[in-house]
Amino acid sequence: MSYPLEGLKVLDMSRVLAGPFAGRMLCDLGADVVKLEPPDGDITRIWGADIAGIRGYYAQQNAGKRNVSVDLSKPEGVEFARALAGKADMLVENFRPGVMARLGMDYQSLRTDNPALLMLSISGFGADGPESQRAAYAPVIHAESGLIHRQAQRSGGEPADIALSIADTNASLHGLVGLLAALHMRQRTGLGQHIDMAMIDAMVATDDDLHYHLEESLDTKAGVPPIVETAAGQLLLSTDLRLLWKQLVKHFGVIDPTPDGADLETKIASRRAAMDEFFNVRCTDRQSVVDALATMNIPWGDVRQTADARTQPTLAHRQMITQVDDRAGGEREIVQSPYRFSAADSGVRGGAPHQGEHNAAVASEWLGLDEAGLARFQSALTQNQP
C-alpha cells in the first residue's frame, strides 16, 4: 500500500492551529509538508511539555512535517519562500488578509510562476468585507457565532469559552476538504485554485443547532441529554428524560411516586428520584446498569476525564494515542490520524521538527540548490536546535 497524497508538496506557512492542523492531516495522508516558520518561532513552541526542546502542542500539530526557518522581513527570505511556493502543489497560510499581498505572495502573484498552485487562506472573517482586518483566534469566533452564549444558556453558568478550539479545527478541516476538491478539479483542468476560508463561515456551516434559532423553533429540538449518577459511575444518557421514564416503566415496572395533583416541578423531581433509586439501588453494579440500558436501547457514555483517552476501549483498540520519536532517543504520546483506508496507508509519520532543521534538505530537494546556491539565502535562514 502507499499513502493517498504521496508525491504532493505542501508549503505550510500557517501558525498555531487553523492551518497547521490541515497541514498535519495532509502530512498523515502522505504529502511532503514543509512548515515555513519565522525566526522567533510559532507561538505554540512554548505550550505543553518540553521534550528535546519541542513542546507538546507544537508536536501534536506539526508531527511528520519538515521545517525551514525563514525571515520574511528580508528580501532574501521572501525570495526563498516564493521559490518554494513555485514548486509546491499546495500552500496553506493564515495570516491576516493583506499580509501575503504585501510580501508579494498573494495568489495572483504566485500563480504567475505556478499556475497549478492550490492555495488555502484561513482568516477569522474572510479575505474581504467589513471585518476582514479584525484579529481573530478561536475564542473570538466562538463568541461571534453565538456558541459561548448558547453554552451558557445550556449550562446555566456565566458565559465562558469552550474547552477546545472548534473554530480553528472546523476551518482547518473545511479547508482540507476545499484543497482536496481543488486537487480533483486540477486533474481535469490543470489549473490551480485559491480557497478563501473564513473561520466564522466554517463555524456556522458546521453548526447543526443554528437552524432552531434562525427559525425560532427551539421548542421542537431534543432535550439536553441528562447526566446521572449510577452504580456504574457518572453516565451521560443520550435520550430525553421523558422517553427514559417511559422505558423504565415499560421494561422494569418502575412506579411513579408523584403525589396526586402535584405541579410539574414536583412531578419531575419525583420521577428523577425514582430514576436515581433504580440506577443506584435496584442496579447494584456496573454490569446491571449497562444491561438495563441495553434492554431499554438507551445510548450512554461514561463521563470520563480527558486523560482517560489512553484507556477508552475503542481508542485503545484503534491505537488513537500512539507514540512518535521524541527527538531525544525516546518516544512521546501523540494523537493518531483518524483516517482508515482499505487499500492505502495513513498516519503520523514521525516526530515534530526542530526550527530550521531541514533548511538545506528542502533547498536541495525542492529547489535543486547546492551549498553554493543556498549561501545566497543564508542571511534570511536560521536554524535553532537544542
Active site residues: 168
Q: Which residues contact 274 (CB under 8 A, 6 or more apart)?
A: 248, 254, 255, 256, 257
Cell of 27: 502530512
From CA 69, how far away is CA 381, in angstroms rounded? 6
Cell of 112: 504567475
SS3 95: coil
What single letter denotes the amino acid at residue 315? L
What single letter denotes the amino acid at residue 329? G
Q: Judging by beta carbons within 10 Å of its beta carbon (0-12, 13-18, 19+), is residue 140 exposed, middle or buried?
A: middle
Q: What is the largest CA-CA distance in the chain?
A: 92
Residue in the block written with cell 470520563: 304
User: What stretches of the chain adopt beta strand conformation (E)?
Assistant: 9-12, 32-37, 50-51, 54-55, 66-70, 90-93, 118-123, 193-198, 227-230, 233-237, 300-302, 321-325, 331-335, 381-382
